Amino acid sequence: MARWHLSIIAILSSVGLSLGAVGKAQSGAAPPAPTPLLVAADLRPGTDLSGPWHYSVDPYRAGLAGFHGGEPNASERRWADIDVGATMRKGDGAMFEFDMDSAPITTLPASWLTHAAEMRYYQGLVWYQRHFQAALQNGKRVFLRLGAANYKTRIYLNGTPVGEHEGGFTPFAFEVTKLLRNGDNQITIGVDSAVTDTSVPPPVTDWENYGGITRSIRLIETADTYVDDAWVRLTRNGALAIDAHLDGPRAAGRSIRFFIPALGLSRAGTTDANGNWRTTIAAPRALERWSPERPRLYDVAIEAGDDRWRDQIGFRTIETRGSEILLNGRPIFLRGISLHEEELGVSPARVITPAAARALLTEAKHELHANFVRLAHYPHDETMVRAADALGLLVWSEVPVYWRISWGNPDTLATARRMIAENILRDRNRASIAIWSIANETPITDARNGFLTTLAADVRRLDDTRLVSAALLTERSTANGHPVMTMTDPLAAQLDVMGINTYNGWYGDDRLADVPAIEWRVPADKPLIFSELGADAKAGFHDARAMPQKFSEEYQADYYRQTLAMAAKIPNLRGLSPWILKDFRSPRRQNAFQQGWNRKGLMSETGQHKLAFDVLTGFYRGKEDGGR
């Protein structure tokens, strides 16, 4: 905990120093200190609370406040530790407007979208409840950890509030050691999917707002003093650097030991007064570096007293030199594809099991010959990032700072800062993550520049081993009869890699044949990535004419051919992450081809390849072995 506070203070005190070329960073309200981090919690022993849960909709949020405001009426408190049926049967006049024990049952984790037909378009508050058994043990601590719940979450254990969290895509944990009962326990979770003008993301997006508990729900058991945070990485100068933070009554002055058994590596030390330990070790000669071709992961452990923290970590460096991106010191072209967090199938509910993650990423890696994925537009399930580590795919990770954010609102800034911190602290041990992106298609204003300058500074402070990027907007003009796309965003000065989304030939009336001649004016001294390009096609819809219509597979395939020809002419283009691997739900897309889906996938929602899939595969095969 202490370490977290230190880093937040460091971030805040940096604000005055981070006045970059684009203007003044905003300080805003301090991001609330996150609850325990429990880094690599997914590998710690615990009790899985996924499975059957009761659920109850609460469209008027009566469980949170009375209808005149103030405290909620006793008859509405879904989290009360009470047997509603038995209490009413007593006949003493007690009455409730809910009964969680007789409410419908669903299986978690999953968005409520598929709980029942009437839940498909529900946005608002839903209460979940279940019981579980616990056996208390002296000297142990227990944390309740959710991988993510969208968007605002309130947790109660045995009738007592445990904590709240805002943000739909990052993990959070609360200690429940003192609230647990030996034997039966009742847990209630209220999740409100409503996003507002001040949330991150804002309400208008191009994806489905999957409300509910979409990721793991676990009780995690640790020793009384345990490794709450650990960061193990290869620095750009070739050393292994280890930071660890202990939490608990014996965190200070504690013996601690770091191991990589496969390398015969072991280093001992002692934590400082705040429970922190930091060391660097010259990288052993035998260390095999992680790369997409050889995604070598090592079992890594840290021991402190009774606690043993473990993770599987790959070691590599990523940096830029001029307009090059260097992986392990060698130039790389990022052969990418974008993905939403949505499993294959006709009715996805954002259930990313290891098998679902592998199914998606295997298409990218082995069918498309990609070495890079853009996990859009928010941090994906940790399962997805672990699968990228194991399969050998570099990752662009981002926060949903998208389109119309309330740039001037200090609470929105605080939310975004906390979200990016939760994302980085969860994932900075993942070799696959190469780029942290701070924003997508955000119009330039002073307020926005300040907001994003603050985020960029936060990222660099939390992780100095990766690249910072954002998907930037461009302006269009005409010169010598052909279109010119110019990027003048001052934020580019803060970034290591410039991202640009391009849709010429899809949005607007450019003819596909004219796309290759489009001229790009972007700073040449940094790497550029086309972070999106794409066109819709309905799988199976064909148009064999010389000029096929939009939404046909032929149009999409030709769009790819012409856009790739355009891209090939840009000297500092160092990668692509076309939009997108698979068709995804988007309620704003309602024409006859779309019917609620964004059809820019190279595959349909069930995995049927469209013609454009092979076009991009051909381009990527030509780029393998460093080809440009």
Instruction: Note the residues at the interface with ligand GCB (CB under 6 A).
Output: 206, 377, 440-441, 501, 532, 579, 598, 600
C-beta of 507: minimal distance to ligand GCB in Å? 7
Q: How far is CA 27 from the centre of its chain?
A: 24
Any idea which residue has 């003192």 for tokens?
178
Smallest distance, ligand GCB to C-beta of residue 501, A: 4
Choice between 11 and 492, CB closer to ligand GCB: 492
Nearer to ligand GCB, 119 or 401 (CB): 401
Q: How far is the CB of 370 from ligand GCB (least distance, A)?
A: 19
User: Which residue's structure tokens are 């949170």?
Assistant: 64
Cβ of residue 400: shortest distance to ligand GCB, in angstroms? Answer: 10
Q: Which lies closer to ligand GCB via its Cβ, residue 54 or residue 600? A: 600
Asked whether 294 and 392 are in contact (CB, 8 A), the reply is yes
Whether the Cβ atoms of residue 453 and residue 20 lie closer than 8 Å to each other: yes
Closest CA to 193 of 97, 99, 58, 68: 58
Tokens in use for 468? 């910072």
Instruction: List the one residue out of 349, 417, 357, 411 whose CA is nearest residue 381.
Output: 357
Judged by CB, which is closer to ligand GCB: 186, or 338? 338
Nearest to 576 by CA among 400, 422, 373, 348: 373
Residue 584 carries which side chain, given as an amino acid letter? F
Picking from 394, 399, 393, the residue whose alpha carbon sits closest to that of residue 376 is 399
What does the longest C-alpha to C-alpha distance in the chain come to?
86
- Minimum distance of ligand GCB from residue 146's CB (angstroms): 25
Helix (H, G, I), strand (E, B) or coil at 281: strand
Task: Tell me phi and psi for residue 271, to 5 degrees.
Answer: -75, 155
Task: Kindly tell me which of 206 and 367 has the beta carbon lying closer to ligand GCB.
Answer: 206
What's the closest the beta carbon of residue 86 comes to ligand GCB, in angstroms?
A: 50
Rounded CA separation 442/262 (Å): 46
Report the residue number, 206 or 324, with the smaller CB distance to ligand GCB. Answer: 206
Tokens of 502: 């391009």
Tell me the backbone φ, ψ of residue 367, rounded to 5 degrees: -90, -45
Nearest-CA neighbor of 394 among 368, 443, 361? 361
Smallest gap from residue 203 Cβ to ligand GCB (A): 14
- In this complex, which beta carbon is closest to ligand GCB, that of residue 377 or of residue 574? 377
Region label for 595, one of left (φ > 0), alpha (ψ between -120 and 50) or beta (otherwise)? left
Q: Fill in the amino acid letter for 518.
A: I
Q: In angstroms, give the least distance from the CB of 340 to ligand GCB.
A: 8
Q: Which residue is nearest to ligand GCB (CB)?
A: 206
Nearest to ligand GCB of 234, 339 (CB atom): 339
Peptide bond into 151 cis (omega under 30): yes
Nearer Cβ to ligand GCB, position 173 or 557? 557
- Closest distance to ligand GCB from the beta carbon of 276 (Å): 39
| Cβ proximity to ligand GCB, 233 vs 599, nearer residue | 599
Q: How far is the CB of 512 from ligand GCB (least distance, A)?
A: 17
Type of residue found at 503: Y
The residue (of 193 and 440) whose beta carbon lies closer to ligand GCB is: 440
Least Cβ distance, residue 22 to ligand GCB (angstroms): 21
In angstroms, the Cα distances linking 462 to 39, 343, 428 are 14, 31, 9
Smaller CB separation from ligand GCB, 315 or 555: 555
Q: Which tokens belong to 70?
A: 């103030």
Compute the least distance from the CB of residue 197 to ligand GCB, in Å. Answer: 18
| Alpha-carbon distances, residue 420 vs 390, 456, 460, 461 (angstroms) | 23, 10, 11, 12
Which residue, among 494, 502, 563, has the nearest Cα to 523 in the 3D structure? 494
Nearest residue (CB) to ligand GCB, 111 versus 598: 598
441: left (phi over 0), alpha (psi -120 to 50) or beta: left
Which amino acid appears at position 416 of this protein?
A
Q: Which of 22, 130, 7 is nearest to 445 (CA)?
A: 22
Residue with tokens 């972070």: 531
242 - beta bridge partners?
A: 232, 279
The distance of closest approach from Cβ of residue 499 to ligand GCB in the complex, given in angstroms and rounded to an integer, is: 10
